[in-house]
Chains A and B, each alone.
Chain A
Amino acid sequence: MSYPTSWRPPSFFNNSFIRFGLLALVLGYFLFSYITLDADWERTSKGIPRALDIFKRMFPPDFSRWDLLLRGVLESVQMALAASFIGMLIAIPVGLCAANNLVPRPVYFLGRIFLGISRTFHEIIVAIFFVKIFGFGPLAGVLTLVVASFSFIGKMLAEDIENMRPGKLEAIKATGASFPKLLLYAVQPHILPRYIGVSIYRLDANIRHSTVVGIVGAGGIGQTLAASFSRYDYGFSLAILITIVSLVFAGEFLSNWVRGRLR
């Protein structure tokens, strides 16, 4: 018997029918999307020279209106801080209601449905509704970010509580503790590190999202950015973008440092 001299790594799908079927599906999808996508290829091909022209107009970044920039950035950061704090507080009851080892079945279903609905819609759509109800300005932005925050933190909290070993809850219940005492002595020590870590991550994410709710008029630096793009003021746009990137970078650095200290 002869031994093979070359070796091929095993492929991901063992059944060759599935492999070729998937390949055919993928190629068919590309063809389908190319046909149904209503793209203006002529305008797209003009994109590269357009891009070069825009980048030329973006450099050097125009920081002359730095007071407007600073005010917008400060408003964004304040929106993120306020929204994270309020979202953290609201997430506690919402997360507790969505954990099936703590609350009765109907409350659990209501909690999960509430979390699901608040997570479905993109924050711009939620921002538009809050702008309709509360008017323009940072109030609508803060409320949008509060919804985004508590849905994220609440989901993490619910999953963490459900992953808890049942022995801990049973031990505290066996001492005759009422429900608030059960929360204080069994649930709270278990979830606290993860809760604070997720909240700090959410603060950082809120700074990123606060830049975008401004596009629909909910306050923050997004409004300034959208206005500068429509005015073709690309130098100022680049200045705003650089500020946003450095702000997010600093926020992420801080958040990683604080979370490292917590361990």
Chain B
Amino acid sequence: MSLQNHQKKYPEIWKRYNPKQTLVQYCWYTGIVFIAVWSVHNLDIPWFYFLDAHLQAADLVERMIPPDWSFFPDIVDPLIETLHIATLGTVFTVFLAFPVAIISARNTTFNQVTWFIGRLILVTSRSVNTVVWGLLFVAIFGPGPVAGIFSVAARSIGFVGKLVAEAIEEIDHGTVEAIEATGASRLQILLIGVLPQVMPVILGTIIYRWDINIRESTVLGFVGAGGIGIVLYSSINLFAWHEVSVMLVAIFGVVIVSEYLSISVRKKIT
């Protein structure tokens, strides 16, 4: 064999990708960079705002420190209301998400139509943000924590339902077949065959979602749905930044405690 042929067949330098794959990869890279640059350019960002941004930030920090601790007793009640909105919303979700998850899983649903309806409910619930659901429910139920509970539940159904449906699709078929063989009815198969297998996933997801819901409930008040968001919104509108910093510290504390609780309980379950 000639030297040229030998070098082509057994290259001295090892390359992971052949030239065609490298070309495709470079096309992807340029495409992504092009799209990113096009989006940033099309947004018409006023770059000169960056010039005085540090001054604005310094001004904000100056107004927020020191926090006005005498305001703290006024926010204890809204904080408790926020916790109630998150907890009751999550409890409400438990009862609604499990049936929806059952009809969205391929192995427990009745037919293609119900599967599609279940998936549609889950996607709709997941696509619309909690605060946007809050806008809708405040228009229906009026301002107050009830609208907040419903909007938290509406968003959580999608989250919990999707994860539970995926868990239901991964259960062990042998158990279900064994219970079917004893002559159990459909409901009994669900309760005794399916439910115990997905129980750890359900509990873990519910607690994870409860933790996220506490963070979401703090801002639901911005659209009038109750909790500490209402006080926060009014303080921001009145430019009372020292009160705002007290509320942010309180929210930070509540979120840290709930996250710690959620992580420790989930560690015990799994």
Determine whether the beta carbon of A36 is less than 8 Å from that of B199.
Answer: no
CB distance from B171 to the nearest CB of A (A): 16
Q: Does A139 contact B (CB under 8 A)?
A: yes
User: Does residue A61 face the partner (Cβ distance < 8 Å to B)?
Assistant: no
Report chain B residues within 8 Å CB of A142: 40, 43, 45
Partner of A139, one of B49, B136, B146: B49
Using A9-B196, A132-B60 as known contacts, say yes or no to A215 and B123 having CB atoms under 8 A apart.
no
A85, A212, A249: which contacts B36 (Cβ < 8 A)?
A85
CB proximity of B158 to chain A, nearest CB, Å: 11
CB pair B128 A245 closer than 8 Å: yes
- Expressed in whole angstroms, the Cα–Cα distance for A125 and B231 within the complex equals 13
Q: Is the CB of A43 within 8 A of B131?
A: no
Is A190 at the interface (CB under 8 A from chain B)? no
Q: Choose, from A74-82, A103-111, A164-172, the stretch at the interface.
A: A74-82
Is A229 positioned at the interface, with any CB of B under 8 Å from its CB? yes
> What residues of chain B lie closer than 8 Å to A47, measured between beta carbons?
140-142, 146
Query: What is the interface size of chain B, counting residues whose CB is below 8 A from a CB of the partner?
Result: 55
Q: Which of A86, A122, A245 touches B219 (beta carbons < 8 Å)?
A: A122
Partner of B126, one of A74, A128, A135, A248: A248
Residues of A within 8 A of B139 (CB): 50, 54, 229, 234
Instruction: Report the Cα distance A146→B58, complex, angstroms.
Output: 21
Q: Chain B residues near A244 (CB, 8 Å)?
A: 127-128, 132
Minimal beta-carbon separation of B197 from chain A (angstroms) = 12
Contacts of B256 in A (CB 8 A): 120
In the bound complex, CA of A248 to CA of B216 (Å): 20
Tell me the chain B residues, 106-151 only, with Cβ under 8 Å from chain A.
123-124, 126-129, 131-132, 135-136, 139-142, 144-146
A67 beta carbon closer than 8 Å to chain B: no
Interface size on A, residues (CB 8 A): 59
Question: Is A134 an interface position by the 8 A CB rule?
Answer: yes
Within 25-53 of A, Cβ neighbours of B (below 8 Å) are at: 29, 33, 36-40, 43-44, 46-47, 50-51
Determine the chain B residues whose CB is within 8 A of the CB of A197 once the complex forms.
Answer: none
Residue B84 is within 8 A (CB to CB) of chain A in the complex: yes
Q: Are A139 and B129 in contact (CB under 8 A)?
A: no
Q: Known interface pairs A82-B36, A135-B49, A225-B135. Does A211 touch B129 (Cβ–Cβ under 8 Å)?
A: yes
In the complex, the number of residue pairs spanning A and B with C-beta atoms less than 8 Å apart equals 150
Q: Which residues of B contact A85 (CB under 8 A)?
A: 32, 36, 39
CB distance from B139 to the nearest CB of A (A): 6
CB-based contact B127/A245 at 8 Å: yes
Q: Is the CB of A138 within 8 A of B88?
A: no
B269 to chain A, nearest CB (A): 10
| Interface stretch (choices B5-13, B96-104, B247-255) | B247-255
Distance A226 CA – B232 CA, assembled complex (angstroms)? 19
B238 within 8 A of A: no
Judge whether A39 and B215 touch: CB under 8 Å: no
Q: Is the beta-carbon distance between B145 and A37 smaller than 8 angstroms?
A: yes
Interface string of B231-270 (1 = CB under 8 A from A): 0100010000000000010011001100000000000000
- Asked if A12 is at the interface of the complex by the 8 Å CB criterion, the answer is yes
Contacts of A138 in B (CB 8 A): 43-45
- Chain B residues closer than 8 Å to A77, beta-carbon distance: 39
Nearest CB in chain B: distance from A256 CB, A: 12
Determine if B144 and A40 form an interchain contact, defined as CB atoms under 8 angstroms apart: yes
- The reply to whether the CB of A18 lies closer than 8 angstroms to some CB of chain B is no
CB distance from B90 to the nearest CB of A (A): 12
- Contact A44 B146, beta carbon cutoff 8 Å: yes
A133: Cβ under 8 A from any B Cβ: yes
Residues on B with beta carbons closer than 8 Å to the beta carbon of A44: 141-142, 144, 146
B87 / chain A contacts, CB cutoff of 8 Å: 29, 33
A133 to B199, Cβ gap below 8 A?
A: no
B160 to chain A, nearest CB (A): 17
Closest residue of chain B to A7 (Cβ to Cβ) is: B192
Closest A residue, CB atoms, query B130: A212
A156 to chain B, nearest CB (A): 15
Q: Which 7 A-B pairs have the closest CB atoms?
A: A248-B127, A78-B39, A85-B36, A47-B141, A43-B142, A81-B39, A212-B129
What would 16 A/B residue contacts be, using CB atoms closer than 8 Å? A12-B199, A33-B84, A37-B81, A37-B84, A47-B142, A81-B39, A124-B222, A125-B218, A125-B251, A133-B56, A133-B60, A134-B53, A208-B129, A219-B43, A245-B123, A249-B127
